[in-house]
Chain A
Amino acid sequence: MSQPPERPVLLPILALALIGLAALPAGQTLHAQPPAVRQAAADVPSPTSLAELKVLNEHVKALVAKVRPAVVQVSGGSGVVISADGLVMSAAHVGGHAGRPVTFVFPDGRRVRGVTLGNDKLGDAGLMRITDRGDWPHVAVAKPEDIRLGEWCVVLSYPVSFDLQQRHLAVRLGRVYHHCPMDVSSDCTIMGGDSGGPLFDMEGRVIGISSTCGNSLLENRHVSVDRFQQYWDRLLKGEDMDELEPGQGAVFGVESDADVDEARLSGVVPDGPAAKAGVKAGDVVLKFAGAQIRTFQDLAAEVRKYKPGEKVEVELHRGEQILRVSVTLGKADAK
């Protein structure tokens, strides 16, 4: 079926991204080994019997009943309480900026007061806190290495509906089909109002926070817990982080038109670190400092982990060849 003309699927946007401007101090990840982008084989295969599906059915019902008390409405979006003293994970575009007073509404209708903490504008991770005193219902947060491709997952949040008096807590079922340091993507369909709401794994742990969706029902992006971990201390301190923080980060010096399903470079900044190492426009980046790269976004996420002056090995695909070059990363404000 065709889409209504109000909403073109394609927009004439030329996304020209410049890697490295958004780099942040390294060393904040809680795990020693940065998670590589995983996309090869499903870690969790599809069920092979009806009995398995029936077990899943009972499991999901019980899980939903268990985690739902911790899922809150906030600021036109959603959030999830992750500690007894009221720390809330949400999306940066729901929180807006740090220090803003907000009201949380629990599924039982209870309204409590709180405040926004830090917001990561690029990744869309945001934290908030309930300021009223209480022992709040809360859920556990998964570690990045717990996220498995093909795993069943559940979105539980407050999408808009035709009922304008109140938003209802709705369940959506799906599976994780993509995971990188920035995102988890699933076929748990999300829409307006779900922003900031949790994506749970089958252990009832938060593995992502709903952020954006595409026109396809399969295209649902959640901020991965990796991203939260990476900026945890700064988010907790109430820092608002914008993508451009000149002078702080490492620069690779490459560009992409973001129109292909791989990290193909459309341009190389003249005399930049990549150019000096012999990287050329048209090259496809396969690995950056040992981490597998699927998309330009993955590459950007990896570059952000390093400091200016650090030397990294980069694996490239050029024509029929696989090349390895050594790049000394530059400084963002030094061009």
Chain B
Amino acid sequence: MNKTIALILTLTLSLGVFAQSLLAQPPDGLRRQTRRAVPRPSGYLKNNDQIKSLLKPTVAAAAAATVRVFGDNQAVALGTVVAADGLIVTKASQLTTKVECQLADGRRLPATVVGRDEATDLALLHVDARNLAPIVWATSPAAPGSLVAATGPGEGPSMIGAISDVPQPMPGPTRRGAQHGWLGIRVGPVGEGPEVQGVSPNSAAEKAGLKSGDQIKRLDGAEIHSADQLIETLSRLPPNKKVALVVDRKDKQLELEATLGRSPGHLPHDNWGGGPFSERRWGFAAVIPHDLAIAPTDCGGPLVDIDGRCLGVNIARALRVASYALPPSAVQETVEKIRARAKTP
């Protein structure tokens, strides 16, 4: 039957009436429902181009202090210029080797890592540039409900939203969700077996050569008939395991081998969708929660208020509804700490 199944999966939002512990209670308390999508004209949405363009002039200075950070030629994060002589903060855990920064003026320069700080997940980078315009920090925190925006390098707001709450510690769950094997694909139950509908960059699936449109037939020896079954099979396999895959691609059947990655700390919290999320997303002494859906590769850039002042540096895309920013004091103290450490032999 060649019928498009355009049902939208929705999950009910409570963990269940009797849930005592969020982690002790896996998502069996969730109720899945099917509901049809309703039209979403962009003119009704907060993140429409017209609204974003209104904020362009006011966030221009912050955009000029935003850089794109590359690791091995891949865009891995944003960075925020903190000193005119080429000092930039970014999200440390996103960095790989060969770090480069593309400044707001378009120059792409090699960067050295001055140092890293585990507690904040900030890294301090240095590029050989002078007379950069550093970010202007807000002098007081913004009240919950304040309108905020994220900027790109030299670009006005990429999105707008609101501060969700006052700065708070985010210790993170004491028991992590069990980490298991990770392919890095999106699947759907169209046609016979589960069909690959998207492959994450750098994932085990991409390295194995999986492509969108592939029908997965076997995984690690097990016959696969449905998306649910694929997920269940995968959840029982450990990270780093080599697994054989059999897929149908057009008229051919292919055998592939994948080395499974590690699930990024998958938690029941993640069953509400809205990802992808940062790998390092908890364990902070103080963060400002806000509702901008910052991509994991766009962390490290500034969070600005409606007057263009920088309220903090985005450090994690955490949950469906939450991203976290480090407050200016935490960023400034970390920069000083790293600089002091770099000076001592």
Interface residues of A (CB under 8 A from B): 1-15, 39, 42, 45-50, 52-54, 56-57, 60-61, 63-65, 75-77, 91, 93-96, 100, 124, 149-150, 152, 154, 159-164, 168-178, 180, 183, 185, 187, 189-196, 210-219, 221, 257-261, 294-297
A95, B13: Cα distance in complex, Å: 13
Q: What residues on B are CB-neighbors of A77 within 8 Å?
A: 13-14
B33 within 8 A of partner (CB): yes
Give the nearest-CB partner of A50 in chain B: B54
Selected from B6, B17, B162, the residue in CB contact (under 8 A) with A260 is B6
Give the nearest-CB partner of B185 in chain A: A5
Contact B270 A6 (CB under 8 A): yes
Contact A221 B35 (CB under 8 A): yes
Selected from B31, B50, B169, B320, the residue in CB contact (under 8 A) with A191 is B320
Report, as a range, how many residues of chain B touch the other chain.
35 or more
Q: What residues on B are CB-neighbors of A172 within 8 Å?
A: 161-162, 164, 291, 321
B47 within 8 A of partner (CB): yes
Q: Which of B93-101, B106-114, B133-141, B272-280 contacts A (4 or more CB under 8 A)?
A: B272-280
Q: What residues on B are CB-neighbors of A259 within 8 Å?
A: 3-7, 36
Interface residues of B (CB under 8 A from A): 3-19, 21-23, 29-41, 43-48, 50-51, 54-55, 57-58, 143-147, 161-165, 168-174, 182-190, 194, 197-201, 203, 226-228, 230-231, 234-235, 263-264, 266, 268-276, 281-282, 289, 291, 293, 295, 306, 318-322
Q: What residues on A are CB-neighbors of B47 within 8 Å?
A: 187
A164, B32: Cα distance in complex, Å: 24
Q: What residues on A are CB-neighbors of B146 within 8 Å?
A: 57, 60-61
Contact A191 to B274, CB < 8 A, known contacts A1-B200, A162-B173, A177-B44: yes
Selected from B7, B147, B183, the residue in CB contact (under 8 A) with A173 is B147
Contact A5 B186 (CB under 8 A): yes
Q: Can you list 20 A-B contacts with CB-CB less than 8 angstroms, sorted by A residue number?
A: A2-B200, A2-B203, A8-B188, A9-B197, A10-B227, A46-B48, A94-B17, A154-B162, A170-B144, A170-B289, A194-B321, A212-B10, A213-B13, A213-B272, A214-B35, A216-B273, A216-B274, A217-B274, A219-B8, A221-B10
Contact A219 to B164, CB < 8 A, known contacts A163-B171, A189-B291: no
Q: What residues on A are CB-neighbors of B319 within 8 Å?
A: 159-162, 191
